[in-house]
Structure 1
Amino acid sequence: MQPIPRFYICLILTLFTAGTGNAKALRIVSANGTLSEILVGLGLEKQIVGVDVTSTYPASLEKLPKIGHNRSIAAEGILALNPDVIVYTDQSMLSPAVVKQLNSSGKKLVAFKHEYSKEGTIRLIREVGAYFNAHAQAEKMVKALQADLAKIPAPANPKKLLFIYARGTGTLMVSGSGTSLDKMFALTGHKNAVSGFTDFKPLTAESLITANPDVLVLFSSGLESLEGMDGLLKVPGVANTNAGRNRKIVTMDGQLLTGFGPRLGKAAIELSLKVK
């Protein structure tokens, strides 16, 4: 049997890798922590050359160059990394000016819709997997996510939860309807203690006492910025709520709690167990 000429071997390999979509080492910049986590789950971590500051999981992403956060992201910092593709979501809050610059740069800019729901998370994983031609890896993540979601315990006594965004003792913000926190509370069978507004708004002692949450939820870093439980209880109005009187304070990692990504089920289970 005659040996196959080297030329034909190279041709076959070229045609094969062209069909996989992932064989070419694309240089990817991710402007969203959830997308970064999905990309890693798809087996593309080595192709990520830059991430935003919310890309904290897995921890190995911390070593990558940072492009900033939300509207502080500049096009120049991204383009300096010479990416082939830049990915973000409709929740990434890139400024219109930056999006325009990136679109006119000749680099591929891809936006994904990110809905804060079980269905939206599954759809996002599949769409990212489809774009990078990694369907099998995406379905593996979806299967694991669905298994976690099935384990979320239903609360025997639903509670009123209030999320407080804190970065020191300056202006504190609370999370209203339609936010990722609001959707996470609903996913665990609990209620948002505040309503009547969307997005975030400043916390006041009066509104806090009126809302009277059973549990206060903060990012772990947020509670640390207030110097712990004692510091939080000094915030006007906190001690006058059921949560304050019972010292019922729950903290979680920010990206885990709000990411609505592959770890959504794990996040909901953790929150449920801490609120219980």
Structure 2
Amino acid sequence: MSIRLFSRRQFGLSALATGVTSAAARSARAGEKRSVQIEDCRGRRVTLGSMQRIVSIGGTITETLYALGAADRIIGVDITSTYPVSALREKRSVGYMRQLSSEGILSLKPDLVLAMNDSGPANAIDQVMESSTPIVMVDATPSLDGVRNRMLTLSRIIGEEEKGAAMVVRFDNQLRTLRAWTELHPKKARVLFVMRVVNGRPMAAGTGTAADAIIALAGATNAGADMKGYKALEREALIALKPDVILMMSQGGQAMRDALLADEAVMLTPAGQKKAIIDMEGEKLLGFGPRTAEAALELAQQIVSHTQPA
């Protein structure tokens, strides 16, 4: 039997609400030894079996599987799987999602590997694809439709379609709360996301990044919007961006905050003068998973708090 999972198109919820369960759902829940074919985001046809020993590569996938009640099926995760915190503590680690080893993944003897489409390196992913272990590549687009589609795609794979539909409804309700907040606070602050400091130069986010997408969702303007991807900023370029707020991941810790505040160029920006630096947990901020609407609202509220007159 063949079932197509559309990764780049929003699924309709009406069919899910009817209670019609796919063959994939039935076999996944029952652990039947039958084959079901799906099509992943790369257009590959993948044959799935029992799906009781899953390796999850990508914090967004892990978080979604936990929310769908499938934690007991996960045997391995990558180190971006920081939420829930029990994932890295209880499951075997396969390393960082962009520095994978096929041997490390396959040694866990999974019956399914679920991986974000930007996982790598390519040769490691290719080696898993060439093995007898099915691997499904999951669309990594940092967008609202991407969040919804990942919820529905993963819920269909593991046979929890009703839970997936409920997650989407909850997500859309959170988005309505976010939009109400941003409408009440229409001023668009200029926010610069700094991934890290490299040789004394801030590595900042431009367009085409998850940081750019979450800043827009929070109702702000990406100060680095004229750049593409990530770029290490020279002193003059940083000053010219005039960010009102600098955003960073909390994983950078106090050391990164101190490095930014010690940067003379940063201190010549509105953000530096106000010491307006926001830090948030990286996977929540950039993962575009179930907590994205919550993260965007938290960011929007912190931006207002850091930019309102004293």
Give the partner amino acid of 1:83: P
Are the structure 2 counterparts of residues 117 and 127 from structure 1 closer, same or farther at C-alpha, using a change threshold of 3 Å? same
Task: Say whether 1:270 aligns with 2:261.
Answer: no
Q: Name the CA distance, whole Å, in 2 between partners of 1:205 and 1:168.
A: 13
Q: Name the CA distance, whole Å, in 1 between partners of 2:118 and 2:176.
A: 26
Are the structure 2 counterparts of residues 176 and 240 from structure 1 closer, same or farther at C-alpha, using a change threshold of 3 Å? same
Match of 1:172, SS state, is: strand
Match of 2:78 in 1: 52
Match of 1:243 in 2: 271
Larger radius of gyration: 1
Query: In the TM superposition, what is the alpha-carbon distance from 1:120 to its structure 2 partner?
Result: 1.5
- Using structure 2 for the length normalisation, give the TM-score: 0.79
Q: Name the CA distance, whole Å, in 2 between partners of 1:147 and 1:52.
A: 30
Match of 1:11 in 2: none
Match of 2:164 in 1: 138
Partner of residue 248 from structure 2, selected from 218, 222, 230: 218
Query: In the TM superposition, what is the alpha-carbon distance from 1:177 to its structure 2 partner?
Result: 0.1
Gaps spanning 5+ residues in structure 1: where?
1-15
Task: Say whether 1:234 aligns with 2:295.
Answer: no
Q: Name the CA distance, whole Å, in 2 between partners of 1:126 and 1:81.
A: 26
Match of 2:93, SS state, is: coil
Query: In the TM superposition, what is the alpha-carbon distance from 1:65 to its structure 2 partner?
Result: 1.5
Give the partner amino acid of 1:255: E
Match of 1:103 in 2: 129
Match of 1:6 in 2: none
Are the structure 2 counterparts of residues 76 and 170 from structure 1 closer, same or farther at C-alpha, using a change threshold of 3 Å? farther
Task: Give runs of aligned pairs for residues 82-161 of structure 1, distance below 5 A.
Answer: 82-92=109-119, 94-152=120-178, 153-154=181-182, 155-161=185-191
Q: Name the CA distance, whole Å, in 2 between partners of 1:76 and 1:175.
A: 33
Q: Name the CA distance, whole Å, in 2 between partners of 1:20 and 1:72.
A: 32
Are the structure 2 counterparts of residues 84 and 231 from structure 1 closer, same or farther at C-alpha, using a change threshold of 3 Å? same
1:186-230 per-residue CA deviation (whole Å, 9 max, x = no partner) reads 11111100123322111322211010100000111214232x4x4
Task: Give runs of aligned pairs for residues 249-264 of structure 1, distance below 5 A.
Answer: 249-264=277-292
- Using structure 1 for the length normalisation, give the TM-score: 0.88
Match of 1:103, SS state, is: helix
Moved more, 162-171 or 195-204: 162-171
Q: Name the CA distance, whole Å, in 2 between partners of 1:111 and 1:29.
A: 12
Match of 1:39, SS state, is: helix
Partner of residue 203 from structure 2, selected from 173, 198, 206: 173
RMSD between superposed Cα atoms in Å:
2.0
User: 1:184·1:258 contact (CA, 8 Å) conserved in 2?
Assistant: yes
Match of 1:72, SS state, is: coil
Q: Name the CA distance, whole Å, in 1 between partners of 2:129 and 2:59.
A: 21
Partner of residue 67 from structure 1, selected from 72, 76, 94: 94
Task: Say whether 1:39 aligns with 2:65.
Answer: yes
- Amino-acid identity (%): 32
Query: In the TM superposition, what is the alpha-carbon distance from 1:18 to its structure 2 partner?
Result: 8.5
Match of 2:30 in 1: 23
How many residues are paired up?
Answer: 258
Match of 1:164, SS state, is: strand
User: 2:206·2:224 contact (CA, 8 Å) conserved in 1?
Assistant: yes
Partner of residue 190 from structure 1, selected from 192, 197, 220: 220
Give the partner amino acid of 1:268: A
Give the partner amino acid of 2:290: P
1:99-157 per-residue CA deviation (whole Å, 9 max, x = no partner) reads 11101111000011122111221111101111112101111211111111111111321
Match of 1:70, SS state, is: coil
Moved more, 28-37 or 171-180: 171-180
Q: Name the CA distance, whole Å, in 2 between partners of 1:220 and 1:128.
A: 28
Q: Which has the higher strand share?
A: 2
Q: Name the CA distance, whole Å, in 1 between partners of 2:69 and 2:275.
A: 42
